[in-house]
Homo-oligomer: A and B are copies of this chain.
Amino acid sequence: MSSKPVSLKVLAAHLGLTVGTVSRALNGYADISPATRKRVQTAAKELGYRPNQNARRLSIGSPETVGYLMPRLNHSGSQPFIAQLLQGLGEALGKRHWDLLVTHADSSQDELAHIERLVRSGRVGGLVISRPLKNDPRIRLLQDLKFPFVVHGRTASCDNYAWYDVDGEDAFVTAVNHLVALGHSRIAFVGAPLQHQFAQDRLNGYQTAIKANGLPLDPDLIQIAEFSDDGGEMATNLLLDFAQPPTAVVCISDTVALGALAALRARGLRPGIDVSVIGYDGLKFGNHSNPPLTTMAQPQAHAGRRLGDMLLAIIDGDDPAMHQELQRAQLLRRKTDGPLHCAKAQQDISKREEIQ
């Protein structure tokens, strides 16, 4: 950077005014005559004056910046929405000329230390965190610090803080009901480790719907696997090895569902005909899977913007508990769901009815 940025001082010298006057002129104070204000403004534009944000923020006592804590990308499932989320956050913050700082902890161990450092260093005035655990220590820490934050997702007890989430429980109720309406009764669930609340929510939805439909809750049909396509494939293989394999599988994510499809195809089973599969997320990519994946599509479009607006409102003093937004996912039928009609499955149904 060669040409040093023009500071308030040189602008003032150039105008024959003091820095204080120039500052007030640019910031719209009433005790500046319209004439000089105009003069200052044009001079500022000519010289390309931009206030040094570090100085400004130090002075006004606000960092005018919020931080986003990137989730660790070990599990490949979290990548698709980050770009959209950041874009939305950026839009919301941009309206007030706030900045977006993106950070990630080096390891999950020192994530708390990372947050505390971030907060106390005054670099950010608020924080956005993603994918909370059931009982997330980050949330407790931020509450203890009384620091403004919003959560993309929810914990088990979701009171007293702001969050934006898609109702995973409701989504899986919808998915299961849909499969039941298609005639399925042996419906399996392929999930992910339950430390994340979203995994628990979706499992809850599955269980609720199974019971509500008067179906037996077979523990064999609940498989907790790695949150990836490989995990979905392995879990589905286990399911298919049972004496009475399921005729339908709901998967915790589209990525996992793709693994399930792979397992089915490897055995010559036709997804959507022999075994139905429903995913969750609504990724565009599901259009191109083999066959195209039926899924519960979540409205990811303005999650970022909503979270940004919430956070700014909270920083302005709003009660965080006021800002809790639950969206619903919608069934997006493509080609992996279909009516029960293979002979073997019919057998299973009749057996179940005898037992009842």
Interface residues of A (CB under 8 A from B): 1-3, 5, 48-55, 57-58, 63, 65, 68, 70, 73, 76, 78-80, 82-84, 86-87, 90, 94, 99-104, 106, 116-117, 119-123, 145-148, 229, 258, 261-262, 284-285, 287-291
Given known pairs A79-B80, A104-B87, the reply for A50 and B120 (CB within 8 Å) is yes
Protomer copies: 2
CA distance A3 to B116 in the complex (A): 13
List the 5 shortest-distance A-B pairs measured between CB atoms, nearest first: A290-B290, A50-B120, A258-B288, A2-B146, A82-B83
Question: CA of A57 to CA of B79 in the docked complex: distance in angstroms?
Answer: 32
Q: How far is the CA of A58 from the CA of B122 in the complex (A)?
A: 13
- Per the bound structure, the CA–CA distance linking A82 and B304 in Å amounts to 15
Asked if residues B76 and A284 are in contact (CB atoms below 8 Å), the reply is yes
Beta-carbon contact of A86 and B102 below 8 Å = yes
- List, sorted by A's number, 8 A–B pairs whose CB atoms are closer than 8 Å: A5-B122, A49-B120, A73-B83, A73-B84, A79-B80, A82-B86, A229-B284, A285-B288
Q: Are B121 and A50 in contact, CB atoms less than 8 angstroms apart? A: yes
Residue of B nearest to A86 (CB): B102
Q: Is A103's CB under 8 angstroms from B90's CB?
A: yes
Q: Is the CB of A101 within 8 A of B101?
A: yes
A268 nearest CB across to chain B (Å): 15
Instruction: Please state if B1 and A148 are interface contacts (CB–CB under 8 Å).
Output: yes
Question: A123–B290 contact, CB under 8 A?
Answer: no
Q: Distance in Å from the Cβ of A72 to the closest Cβ of chain B?
A: 8
Q: In the complex, what residues of B have CB within 8 A of residue A1's CB?
A: 119, 145-148
Q: Please determine whether A87 and B100 come into contact, CB atoms closer than 8 angstroms.
A: no
Most buried by B among A83, A90, A121: A83
Contact partner of A58 (CB less than 8 A), chosen from B52, B261, B289, is B52
- Cβ-defined contact, A122 with B290, below 8 A: no
